[in-house]
Amino acid sequence: MADNNATDSFGNTLDPVVGFARGEIIKSSVDEARRLRNGQNIAADRVRRLGPESIGVFTGNQREFPLKVEDLNTHCEEWVGPGLFADALRDIAIEHMGGLPDDSVAVVNRTSAGIIASIAALASGKAVVSVVPPAGRSHASVVRGCAIAGVALHEVQGDKDWAKLVDDVKPGLVVITTVTSSLEFLDDHVAMDVAALAKREGALVLLDEAYGARMRPVLRGGVKSLKLGGDLAITNCDKAGLSGPRSGLLVGRPTLVTRVSAKASEYGMEARAPIAASALRSLQRFSPRDLLDEARSGQALGKALRERMGADLVEVSDLGPMIHEDLAMKEVFRRAGKSTDGATVTPAEITSALGAVLLRDHGILTVNTHGQPGARVSVRLKPTHGAIDRLGGMDKVVDAMVTSFDAVARVVHLPAEISKLILGDTK
């Protein structure tokens, strides 16, 4: 489990659930939800003024709804529809995830929902061990799922002694995250070794493959999800080359999928027929070329931004540039000519304000305005297909980032202005 006393570079205590420091503006998940609503308002205002082509999505989530016209009165019908496409969905999902011929499939309304439902259904009152990539951390849904299930969570990075932890804890469930939302990778051989040990110890294994189901095989030459040895694997239907809708696809052993599906239904987390039918269409139209194109454009953007803003500030992931929230705050204060000593804002608040300016002034939509409560707060530009061209090309996007840093720097000493950027006019 995360250290409850951990701090960021400025001495702010990190929230152990979400992994970033809260402040006077973003105090809780409620304020994160308010930030999201404000981001939606900013986007809507821009579309009304400049049209839908004025926004490029840089979250890595395409979030389309790829239904066919003929689906509306067949697959989308709530009573009969799911039975009509169940076999087609099962076959393509098993192929996509590398499952066995007799595996089962379920669609839930979010990957986070599937993870929470899996922990609640499968932990059986025992502790959960979460194995994450080196330098990574568990998704907030793993932490929250354990809290809901009333079981202890033990987290360990893949380059640490996870074998001893599994042996000592004797968990009921081991969750293996192969690729985090910050795009840290766990080597396939480590994931396989963890899964094998967990099974020998009598634990069930859930693979969190939200990104990994496609990024590992397509970009890193890895094996398909369930070839790693898990009992279940879940992926996100709108990440890393899948076009949407926002939903989670769960594949694995039939009795376990049934238990998780039942728990998801108890919690109201199951995907209704239109979502599940759209997930089928997304899988049917998936092409590795789409992910490769996204990766190439993201890495080119990362290189350009790194050349402009510095290699010490900008990292480049498989899908695009990233700036850690602590470094973003230091850079904003540097541009403002001010010290961070005694700062009244936190890094998460700085990156949220930066996201608001990027969206309002330049049409760059990021997780810093549109992330759900608990989402990472680093600055991550993962351009979806066509996003860079839509906003005028690579140089325009790089200029927008530099200009936005300067804009936030001009008001960083005015907490009320930072709050207005993040939450909107709260009067």
22 — pLDDT class (breaks 50, 70, 90): very high
> 3-state SS string over the chain?
CCCCCCECCCCCEECCCCCCECCCCCCCHHHHHHHHHHHHHHHHHHHHHHCHHHCEECECECCCCCCCHHHCCCCCCCCCHHHHHHHHHHHHHHHHHCCCCCCEEEEECCHHHHHHHHHHHHCCCCCEEEEECCCCCCCHHHHHHHHHHCCCEEEEECCCCHHHHHHHHCCCEEEEECECCCCCECCHHHHHHHHHHHHHCCCEEEEECCCHHHHHHHHHCCCCHHHHCCCEEEEECCECCCCCCCCEEEEECHHHHHHHHHHHHHCCCECCHHHHHHHHHHHHHCCHHHHHHHHHHHHHHHHHHHHHHCCCCCEEECCEEEECHHHHHHHHHHHHCCCCCCCCCCHHHHHHHHHHHHHHHHCEECHHHHCCCCCCCCEECECCCCHHHHCCCHHHHHHHHHHHHHHHHHHCCCHHHHHHHHHCCCC
**pLDDT at residue 1 is higher than 60:** no
The pLDDT value recorded for residue 17 is 86
**pLDDT at residue 132 is higher than 60:** yes
Percent of the chain residues past pLDDT 90, beyond the cut: 83
Q: What is the mean pLDDT of residues 335-350?
A: 94
Q: What is the mean pLDDT of residues 43-51?
A: 96
The pLDDT value recorded for residue 3 is 61
* Range scoring the smallest mean pLDDT among 39-43, 59-63, 162-166, 182-186: 59-63
* Range scoring the smallest mean pLDDT among 4-8, 357-361, 362-366: 4-8
**Which ranges in the chain are annotated with CATH 3.40.640.10?**
69-285
The pLDDT value recorded for residue 243 is 86
Q: What is the mean pLDDT of residues 327-345?
A: 94
The pLDDT value recorded for residue 427 is 55
159 — pLDDT class (breaks 50, 70, 90): very high
The pLDDT value recorded for residue 240 is 86
Percent of the chain residues past pLDDT 70, beyond the cut: 99
Q: What is the mean pLDDT of residues 261-283?
A: 94
The pLDDT value recorded for residue 365 is 95
The pLDDT value recorded for residue 241 is 85
**Residues 398-421: pLDDT tens digits?**
999 999 999 999 999 999 999 999
The pLDDT value recorded for residue 425 is 83
**Residues 197-240: pLDDT tens digits?**
999 999 999 999 999 999 999 999 999 999 999 999 999 998 88
**pLDDT at residue 426 is higher than 70:** no
The pLDDT value recorded for residue 112 is 94
Fold of 69-285: Aspartate Aminotransferase; domain 2 (3.40.640)
The pLDDT value recorded for residue 328 is 97
**Which ranges in the chain are annotated with CATH 3.90.1150.70?**
29-60+288-423
CATH number attached to the domain at 29-60+288-423 = 3.90.1150.70
122 — pLDDT class (breaks 50, 70, 90): very high
Q: How high does pLDDT run on average in the chain?
A: 93
320 — pLDDT class (breaks 50, 70, 90): very high
The pLDDT value recorded for residue 18 is 86
305 — pLDDT class (breaks 50, 70, 90): very high
